[in-house]
Structure 1
Amino acid sequence: MDIDPIRRNKKPRLLLESERERLDEFIDSIHYSARYSDDAFEYRHVQLPKNMLKKIPQDYFDSAKGTLKLLWEEEWRALGITQSLGWEHYEVHEPEPHILLFKRPLNYQPPMAQ
């Protein structure tokens, strides 16, 4: 289940300060699911407030699908999503485009600091 590079920006597109400020009002309303897992990964979904989607810059969206692109870590953190290290945005729940799906390897250990 690799990430399709066509479904994300070629490199992280960081938010401008003015764009970030428009999202601040929604940060406390982001909902994080409990974690669930299979044999290889743990998963969780993050539910953004629906009105937040209207404030996110258009180049974060996949115009063909009408959903957010798969976001780089720098992008989803800039939106105000806060999670521990190792999570990767791997899918958008198309029927409900405000729900972002994340995964990371089971027993993930962050790289040791040098």
Structure 2
Amino acid sequence: MDGTTLSRAFAALADPTRRDLVSRLTLGDADVNELAAPYEMSLQAISKHIAVLEKAGLVSRRREAQRRPVHLDAEALGELTRWIDHHRHAVEARMGRLDEVLTSDSAPPPKDAP
């Protein structure tokens, strides 16, 4: 996932309604009517949210007869998870090294210690 796509995905997920739609889609594909049911907003508003998720590469739509189900792209979520995990591991490693320094016996005493 390139930087632009990554930025689009995180921007799309910044909205709580879109995060909720992604959560709903983890249960399976759904059409706009099914996705809109729990919300007090128009089908057009839900469609706009889906379009943002689609542009970010997080969902896709396909035609099944008269239905156009929305499908969550698990690989795109995996890319986001890998990006987050990479940075989380780097921070954890840095904090682990700091812990080692702070707890080691060879650390010099503070300058103002007696």
Higher helix proportion: 2
Same fold (TM over 0.5): no
Higher relative contact order (CA 8 A, sep 6+): 1
TM-score (structure 2 length as normaliser): 0.29
Name which one, 1 or 2, has greater alpha-carbon Rg.
Answer: 2
